[in-house]
Chains A and B, each alone.
Chain A
Amino acid sequence: MARARWAVLILTIATLVGSGADWTRAEQKKDSCVECHAALEGSLAAPVEAMREDIHRARGFSCADCHGGDPSRDDPLESMDPKKGFLARPSPRAIPALCGRCHSDAEFMKRYNPALRVDQEREYFTSVHGKRLRAGDTRVATCTSCHGAHGIRPAHHPLSPVYSLRVAETCARCHADVAYMKGYRIPSDQYERYKRSVHARALYERQDLSAPTCNDCHGNHGAVPPGVASVAHVCGQCHVRQSTLFQASPHKAAFDVMRLAECVYCHGNHDVPSPTDEMIGTGEKSVCLSCHPPGDVGYQAAERMRAMLDELSRNLERAQAILDRAERAGMEVSRAKFELNEARDALTHARVLIHAFSVKELENVIRPGLEVAQRGYHAGERALAELNYRRKGLAVSLLFILFLAFLLYLKVREIEGTR
């Protein structure tokens, strides 16, 4: 009888403890999976170690929540009994549904993270990865390929393989592996090329997390290669002004007819370089020449637009140089230098406005910029002329001053000579 009373007491305490916050549940309940696997070695112990940093464990989940089985039993035959739903290693095909069991359940998910989306599974099956998986290709990426299986961290955690700074590396694990990608008939040099791009420089060198990496253009769960029709929308997400100008430009219809991918055709895709003025015009590096033969209207417009950009750049540099010179000579030209920013803004504006491919519109921006640059140059000229004037004035005054001092000296000698 006394034994039964003890049992009731222990059970009551266990229930009370167990009803605490969710995240403590895993710590409190018996978990024979962790107990046994922690005592094992190698790959059998690795999941226990990895799970220490896992977001799911922090929220109170444990092995059995994904693998099934009965963690309350010590006997391996009982705890890992397939009849109790035990699944040692979920097959790649089963993984999206396994994760989706919770992650696609809005009711369930909002208890843990109301801000998290719940359409990843659905999106996944619209991706090339998902479609191929459905078709039986188990070498494609599933949830665990990118997020990991044990030790999953939230995407904003710097150590997560899907953190902005690590995404490209994660995709490259498969996509840059020539042997692995053999048979898929897509290139495997995207990562190498991406690393040379202006986007990668912004991301890795400036640590600008808003700079795009793979998933910003391809999507993440619904990863697809953007097609000719959609690529402009992809770039336009960030480069809104350029995209809007292009859509309204005469090039839009022409590109559509020729089925050219709008932005990509001139700027490239993975290895998008830093754009330069040399891309426009009729020079060697001009992208216009790939469609416009010498003499046609587009060719002339390109030539004219490049000339305008060059003229503003040249004038800006000239003004900057003369103002720098005046400043080094000690002249106060900070206001003129500040005003020169207006011309610099005009040049930036003009470079964006190229995407309208209209000589007239470009002129409307270049002309005021040129005027500002001219004003800056004149201010520099005036400062240097003033400097010259000061030096001459100084020479004349010094002569006068020295002469006066000499006269006084003579006067002193005269007085003292007579004494």
Chain B
Amino acid sequence: MTKRTTDVAGEAHSEGGLVFHPLDQFKVTPLFGDGPVEWYTITNVTLWMALAALVITLVFAVGSRGRALVPSRLQSVGEMAYGFIHNMIEEVAGHDGVKYFPIIMTLFLFILSANFLGLIPMSFTPTSHIAVSAVLGFGVFFFVTLLGLYKHGLHFLGMFWMSDAPLVLRPIIAIIEVISYFVRPVSHSIRLAGNIMAGHAVIKVFAGFAAIAAISPVSVLAITAIYGLEVLVAFIQAYVFTILTCVYLKDALHPGH
């Protein structure tokens, strides 16, 4: 994926047209030197993922330092995030899902802060790459599948065999259920990357229009409006990713419901 993005952007550059290409911002470049991008190369993706982790650590370390009865600003941010995710898991996955709170909280915070950091101008959004979001999506998929198999054994496969459907329909439903189960990680990860990438590309397209003097005020206004929308999308996509993780977790904990 990383390789392809570089190729794509490079190719579009030579064709001319827009001054900069809307997808140029997703180019993965090494931080030090310009060698080829190998799996161990420290790139801007690495940098912004590390920054996302750093921001989370800072917010929660500084926020929880005071432990005041009347919370400071940072402390209430931390408390709100904690309560938000805790409620979500309890509501969607049930009470025994709370045991898996740490992994879900981590996913939410990582995606949220990566999305928000990506909104800083000239920054880079790791979650806009399918390579990044697929690791998260498939990680969740393998986690819930293995968890379901571990908890329920072969009983877990009963999820695909609807025992309350007519007997003739059951094999057909089983095939559909299996397909939809294996499409889950794909849609789970592409939803996140696609939304973020589309939003950022739209902003860049409008920025391209700003070069034409007659319509530049309109495009500046449009960028402002879309930026506001993107702040919303950044949160909603993190929220959707987490809540779907909770839904999949519920299926693993209570198959056949």
A binds B: no
